Structures are given as structure tokens and as C-alpha cells.
Structure 1
Amino acid sequence: MSLESVFTADGMWRSASDIARAVTARQTTALDVVEAALARIERQNPALNAFTDITADRARAKARALDGAITKGETVGPLAGVPFAVKNLFDIEGLVTRAGSRINRDNQPAGRDATLVQRMEAAGGVLVGALNMGEYAYDFTGENIHDGASRNPHDITRMTGGSSGGSGGAVGGALVPIALGSDTNGSIRVPASFCGIFGLKPTYGRLSRARTFPFVPSLDHLGPFARCVEDLAGAYDAMQGPDLDDAACVARPVEHVSPLIGKGIDGLRIATAGGYFQTNLTPEAKEAIAAVTKALGATATVELPETDRARAAAFLISTVEGASLHLDRLRCRAADYDPAVRDRLFAGAMVPAASLDRAQKFRRWYRDRVLEVFRNVDVIVAPATPFTAPTLGQATCELDGVERPVRTSIGLQTQPISFIGLPVVVVPVPLAPMPIGVQIITAPWREDIGLRVAWHLQQAGTVAAPRAKGF
């Protein structure tokens, strides 16, 4: 059957809804779509190093089952036949959950899929593999010493960002239309920014983390990457719902956003984040913010209080909680860690308990102050990263005339937001030669507003996922 209803004239994936519509209308088959995705992965992954595992047999079996159900006239989900992949910290039945590490490879294969994998497949999605990531998610660069660095599809000499680097590279390079990742301090938003795609970090507790390998349980979020807002919303809708297997996944009603994204932005109070968020930016980041605020007609500016302290507290909580999960492995197998990850975890293990207590108390204070800001605005616009993707191995960068370390500077704009669990949509501004993202931040549980703003910007042509040359 023809794949014209699945790919655009220039060979890019159409939207997930277009793919599902073509599959359910029998203009093509789910198996043909999956075979096309597997062929793309085989051809392009050697350059990008996005995938660590390819679940070809499973994908073909799922696609055949979908095609059989459609032939019988049965109802299939809104993602019918849509290929997707997940960061390799998600449990996939029959695969070892690597979490980007050497040590985990000695574990037994997972006996059951992660909740979000189950929900994506219940909606008709077809899992095609697991994706490269920073070791134990403690990474902003996408450079894994065990599996090799994931590479940016817009320039393979550059970083994808991390820790969901393979997810960013796979969607940015159009290997798959949708990928899932995790975000603790910026690990969805950074790869989305560097790879020029859309990313959603939902409200803390909105999507289940059951059967995924944790990093910092009080900060960990899961969410999707996509090349258009419609696909981001569709994947998010498919994964919603409470889960007793994740104590943080609260019993809120499912609130489907796909019907709302075209509602427009009239009446929304939109402001740009000032103060801290306007410092340590390259000209590219400033240009991206200017383009987005102009397109939204945003003239107001708001300042979030004590943001520098919020970032410092996020660092402390991350390293202490992360270290507590790794103490046994650090005692027995320290030599099998990436030295940079190991040293940060060792440092966290030595932080006095009183320091963690102070950081958590400040976190509650900071959250209350930021929620007060949202009494007067609906949306806050902020940079996603201070710069476009650095080159692989780059150690330093210049920000505001000061030479700074790249690794710790990447999360300057993201950490103060995930620290208090706010929902964020990252939108890609297609600058040349490299894209860069902008954060659309909303109050807790208002993912719908963030996606409406993102859709408006997409319709205006201000944001888009640019095609990566050669992919």
C-alpha cells in the first residue's frame, strides 16, 4: 500500500492523527508504517546514535494485530499505527532497563511495560525501541560514556542535550514521530531546545512514573517529544490518568487537551520572565524570546523571587536524593560509573541532612511565591536554554562576557521551574544554523493553556520543528 498519506512530499512524517487516520481508513497498513520506521532507524541511527535497542519483532506483531482488528471492523485508538520510542529508563517487557548505565545491564529483563508504554500502546501506538540517555539521567549533555554520545540531527558534531538525548535526536531526526523522556531538572526541555522540537514537561504528578528507573523522586517527571503541537497533545492525552503504582500520580480527572489547542489565546494574560531569566543568555536565546513575545503580543514582565536560590536548592536536592538511591551501587561498583556522575553522587552522599531540610523548606516557600505570581498572569515565557547546542565535548562557553562551564550552565533556565513542578511546553524557534527553544510556563494542571499558546505560535509560523539536513 502507498505511504503518501504517512509522509510529506519531502519525506517527513505527517502528524500522528494523519497516520492513524490513514491506517484506520486502510489507505495504508500499520505494518507498512512500522516497516518504514524501522527502515529509517536502520539507515539513520548509525549517524545519530539515538537508539540503544530496537524492538522490531514486537513492533511487527503489534502492527499485525492492529491491522487485523481494523479488518474486523473493531475500534482502534487515536494513535493507531503511530511509531514511538522511549528513553531507556522506561521498563520494556523482555528488555533490561539500562537507565544509561553499565551496572544495570546485569539486571534481569523487565517483566512488564512501564505504565506510559502500556497507555501509548492501548491508544494504538507501536513501540519500536529504547533510546540513548545520560547515565542514570544525571546529565545535561547527551554524552554517554557507555553507549556513546547521542548526536544532534542538525549538526552531528553537536550535543542533543540530556538526559533524554536519544529522545530528542530520534524526533529531531524524524526517525519516529513521537518519543517519551523524563525531566528532573530539564531533561525534556533541554533536548527539545537543542534538537528543535516540541517537548512537554507536565505538572509533577500528572503522568505516571510507574516502572521507570528513578533519579530524584521528588522532582522526576515524564513526558513526550513531538514535531508538532497536535502530536504532543495527542500523546499527552493518551497517557493521562491516575495510577496506584505511582504515589505521586494523583487522582485527578483526565483532562483531554487535544480538542482545546485551537481555542486561541484571547483573554490569556501573558508575561515574559524578567530578572534572573534575562541574564546569561546568548544573542540567539534573546532573539528567540523576542520573536515569541512579539508573536504573542506580550508586553508585561514578571519576576520570580529568589530564583538563583531556587536553582541552588534544586542542585542540592538532586544530588542528595540521587545519591541516596545509589549508595549500594557506589559502595560495590563505583568504578563502573561515568566518573563525572559518580563524583556528583559521592558529593551528594556527604551533604548534611540539615542542608537538605533547609532546601526543602525553601522549596515550599518558593512555590508559594511563584503561585502568587500566577494570580495575575496565565502564562510566563522564558528561555529554555542559554544557548544553542554546544559541540560534543565542549567544556566552556561565554555568557554575558564571562567564561562558564557548559555542563552546569545548560540548566540555568529550566531548573528553577521543575524544582516546583510547573507544567512547561517547549517550542522550537527555527533559527539558522541551529534552532533553540522557549519555555511556555503555566500554573499547575494547566497544560491546556501551554499547548494552546504553543499551537498559536505554530499557526503563526513563529515556531516549528525545522527539518534536519540529511535526515
Structure 2
Amino acid sequence: MNGPAQDIAHLVRSGRRSALAVLEAALSRVRERDARYNCFTAVTEGRARQEAAAIDARRARGEPLPPLAGVPYAVKNLFDIADEVTLAGGKVNASNPPARRDARLVERMREAGAVLVGALNMDEHAYGFTTENSHYGACRNPHDPSRIAGGSSGGSAAAVAGGLVPLALGSDTNGSIRVPASLCGVFGLKPTYGRLSRAGSFPFVGSLDHLGPFAASAADLAAAYDALQGPDPDDVACAQRAAEPVLPALDEGPRRLRVAVLGGYFSEWAGPQARRAVEIAASALGAVASVELRGAAQARAAAFVITAAEGGALHRRRLVTHYDYYEPLSRDRLVAGSLVPAAWTQHAQRIRHRVYREALALFEDYDVLIAPATPVPATPIGADWLELAGKRMPARASMGILTQPVSCIGLPVCTAPIWPGTGQDGHLPLGVQLIGAPWREADCLRAALALEQAGVARTLPL
């Protein structure tokens, strides 16, 4: 049970291919394809060659190599990369001094032997679901470059989908890993809130921010996740939890999981392709029961309030002095958020806790809950509206309608790419959320692996 990243690492460890040769092939793909996709905002070519050469030198000395030896990867440009400016998608950050050290998760990827190729496009300050960045250009969906890649980690998902790198890192506050994974047809993992360190990443909403990986297979996703785990005193939310590797458990095969479909809200706000994707996944996993998270709509409303208030507070001062530098698609929302009364956020946090307890009750009977990740497949770049549940909805905000309730309560989710193949968007993927109980990322990944082994979930090569 391997994926592209693990195959690369195996070849490098065995000496059948050098890390430098792997890197040169990746850089060639970036040069050939990225003008079409616009995933990268920086290519760290010099650093990458040093990291690859270090791996080859270790092998030449007969040293054992780490699990991701020689595997190229890239990160959303809100991760600190030593000696690079951390843009977080914003023009307003371009004059900041370069980062003095790598983000914690970049450090862990380097320790695992992975080779950093560059930084990736995103919605400014992670406030968006489409990666239509006004400063650095829209990131385009590799399966149809006239469509969005999703966001805010659009560059991360598109770089994996387009075959530029086998692994990428992104962030998810309200759906920013799951939405682009769904629209680009790759695997993505939003871990439990507090599972992975956020130290050295540009924040958006401290109460909701998660970091996680993208990959072209469930096994590669698990391998990347294992490399990233571990407590970190520099992130108070990640200070205690010990690492719990999941890849060995996947190698043993997926145990029998108790799976149900999340209906109600998650069916009401799903288009026909999204409902079909859930049917395909449910059939493959033997899920016949349907359950409801009755507080889902309230959880989404709470996420909006918390996002607005914390995001607005973070940017308030620079909005006053540098308003024109900010992304037109998000700056007015940040201004409005800075005016949200404290009582609203307190009430939103109470709702969040209540819905969390409601979700825990569902996991007394089930291990994994299935829901669509996005209501529709990727929309055309520049689209302002979409039709959903008989209503005309704002296209950009509505892409997160099914992910926000879940991230608000901090549950782990693996997005698995399904190809519903219906309607005029039949050439496009649409992912499902495989939602687990807190700290049960292993169950989410087991379900994703089962779908992959059944031929239901897959990343199509380009």
C-alpha cells in the first residue's frame, strides 16, 4: 500500500534514484505546467537543491534515510520559510522582513527527508474559498483551468492535482483544505483542532485555525500526517497531545468501521453531484443509516461570527493605515468583523460547544460520518452566484456551507476525491468529508483508504 510520495522515498532509499534527480524532475514540471495553473508564488530552487543533496550525501555515507527521503513538497504561502517573506496571500505583507526560521511543520517535513520546492498561492489572509487572488492572480483548477481551484489553500490542492508535487501543506479555518481538495480531486486532511502545531504560520482565526496535508493517495496523506505530528509548546493548542502514528495501522488494512451518512442540513445544501458523491461513498463503505447534526446551521453561523471578530481584530490596525493594499474581495468583511460586539462572540462560542457535544453523541454509535465537502463542483473563475436548493447564493461564500459547521467544532476530517460524473460538470471531481470523532484521524484515513481500494476515490493523473 503505497502512493506516489512513498514510491519516490522507496526509490531514493534503495539508491535506484537520487534525490537530486527527483527534484530536477519536479522543478521541470513546475516550469512546464505552472504558467497554466498559477499555483506557485515562489520556487525555492537553491534551498531545494541543498536539501536534496543532503539526502543523497546521507545515503552515500550509508546512513538510514527518513520516511519521506527526497519527496518534493510545497507549502501554502502563510507558512514561514526561512529567508523568505511570508505573504499569506497579501500585498500588504510583501514589505515585511523575511522569516528568520521555518514554521514548525516545515521543520518536521525536513526532518522526515522531504524537499521543499516552494510557496503556494492562496486567498489573501486565508479569507476565501476560491483562491481568486487579486494580487497574485487566480489559481486555476488543473482539471479545467477555466474553473476555480477552491480555497483558501487552492495552490496546495492544485499543485498536487496537477502533478507538480506529490505532497503539499495548507491550512483550514472554515474549509480551506477540504474545499480545494474536493474541487481539485485530491486527498486532504483537516486534523482535530490542536493536533498539529501552527507555530510559524500566519494566523487567521486562532479559535478555528488548523494546518494539514494534501496528497494524491490516502497512504501518502497518512505518511505526511505522521511526519507532522507531535506536541509543540510554541502552540498552546498543541502543547500536550502525543503523536499517534496512523500509517502502520493502515498497512494492517482498514478495520470494520461503523459509518453513517450525515443528512438533514448536509443533504439540503448539497447539489445533485454532491448527493451522488455521497451515495457512491456510502455504498462502498456499507453505510445505510442516516443521522442529523441538528445544530449544523447554528454552528456555521457561529463560525461566521468568530471568524469575523477574530480576523477583523487581527487586521484592524493595518486596515486603517493600508486599506488600499488589502484584497477587495475580503477587506470590507474584515472591517465589519472588527466591529462585532464581544457579546456576539461569547454567544457564538457557547453555540460551538453545544453543537460539539451533540456531535459527540453521534460518535457513540458511529466511527465515521459521510457528508459532501462542497455543494457543487468547481465554478467558473469570476462567478459571483450559484443556484443551490432553489436559491440564488453567493458563489464564494457558499463553497464553505458544508465545511464550516464541522471545523467550527474541531472534528478531524479526511476529504476523499469522488468523480460523480453527472451533468455538464461530469469531468470534474467532488469530494466527500469523512468525519471522525476527536483525535480519531485514523478512522477518517481508514475510510479514505477503503474508498480508494474499492476504486471509488482516486486522484486522476494529469
User: TM-score, normalized by length of structure 2?
Assistant: 0.97
Deviation at 1:467, TM superposition (A): 2.4
> Does 1:464 pair with 2:458?
yes
Secondary structure of the structure 1 residue equivalent to 2:170: strand
Secondary structure of the structure 2 residue equivalent to 1:340: coil
- Pick one of 381, 384, 397 that aligns with 1:395: 384
- Pick one of 440, 458, 461 that aligns with 2:434: 440
Match of 2:359 in 1: 370
Match of 2:139 in 1: 150
Match of 2:266 in 1: 277
Aligned 8 A contact 1:264 1:453 in 2: no
Mapping of residues 104-123 of structure 1, within 5 Å? 104-123=93-112
Deviations for 1:367-420, whole angstroms, at most 9, x for unmatched residues? 111111111111100000000000000111111222211112101110000001
Give the partner amino acid of 1:346: V
Match of 2:33 in 1: 44
Match of 1:222 in 2: 211
Give the partner amino acid of 2:435: I
Aligned 8 A contact 2:186 2:214 in 1: yes
Match of 1:15 in 2: 4
* Structure 2 spans left out of the alignment, 5+ residues: none
2:354, 2:407 → 1: CA distance? Answer: 15
Match of 1:76 in 2: 65
- Pick one of 324, 337, 343 that aligns with 2:332: 343
Match of 1:249 in 2: 238
> Does 1:334 pair with 2:316?
no
Deviation at 1:160, TM superposition (A): 0.3
Aligned 8 A contact 1:143 1:150 in 2: yes
Give the partner amino acid of 1:234: A
Aligned pairs, how many? Answer: 456
Deviation at 1:365, TM superposition (A): 1.2
Aligned 8 A contact 1:15 1:230 in 2: no
Match of 1:317 in 2: 306
Secondary structure of the structure 1 residue equivalent to 2:137: coil
- Pick one of 62, 86, 109 that aligns with 2:75: 86
Mapping of residues 29-40 of structure 1, within 5 Å? 29-40=18-29
- Pick one of 172, 183, 206 that aligns with 1:183: 172
Percent of pairs with identical residues: 54
Deviation at 1:340, TM superposition (A): 2.4
- Pick one of 138, 146, 170 that aligns with 2:159: 170
2:434, 2:381 → 1: CA distance? Answer: 28
Match of 1:211 in 2: 200
Aligned 8 A contact 2:264 2:294 in 1: no
2:257, 2:73 → 1: CA distance? Answer: 33
Deviation at 1:267, TM superposition (A): 3.5
**Structure 1 segments (4+ residues) deviating >6 Å:** none
Match of 2:220 in 1: 231
Aligned 8 A contact 1:31 1:63 in 2: yes
2:221, 2:3 → 1: CA distance? Answer: 13
Aligned 8 A contact 1:262 1:455 in 2: no
Aligned 8 A contact 1:200 1:224 in 2: yes
- Pick one of 272, 276, 279 that aligns with 1:287: 276
Aligned 8 A contact 1:183 1:220 in 2: yes
1:139, 1:107 → 2: CA distance? Answer: 22
Give the partner amino acid of 2:205: V
Secondary structure of the structure 2 residue equivalent to 1:213: coil
Secondary structure of the structure 1 residue equivalent to 2:109: helix
- Pick one of 44, 60, 63 that aligns with 2:52: 63
Match of 2:343 in 1: 354
Secondary structure of the structure 2 residue equivalent to 1:456: helix
1:263, 1:467 → 2: CA distance? Answer: 27
Deviations for 1:143-169, whole angstroms, at most 9, x for unmatched residues? 000000000000000000000010011
Give the partner amino acid of 1:297: G
2:385, 2:242 → 1: CA distance? Answer: 45
Match of 1:452 in 2: 446
1:113, 1:419 → 2: CA distance? Answer: 28
- The structure-2 alpha-carbon separation of the partners of 1:14 and 1:462, relative to structure 1 and needing over 3 Å to count, comes to closer
Q: Cα RMSD over matched residues?
A: 1.1
2:128, 2:387 → 1: CA distance? Answer: 20
Match of 1:7 in 2: none
Deviations for 1:156-205, whole angstroms, at most 9, x for unmatched residues? 00000000010011001010000000000000000000000000000011
Give the partner amino acid of 1:23: V
2:3, 2:162 → 1: CA distance? Answer: 14
Aligned 8 A contact 1:196 1:428 in 2: yes
Aligned 8 A contact 1:164 1:187 in 2: yes
Match of 1:8 in 2: none
- Pick one of 156, 177, 193 that aligns with 2:182: 193
Aligned 8 A contact 2:3 2:217 in 1: no
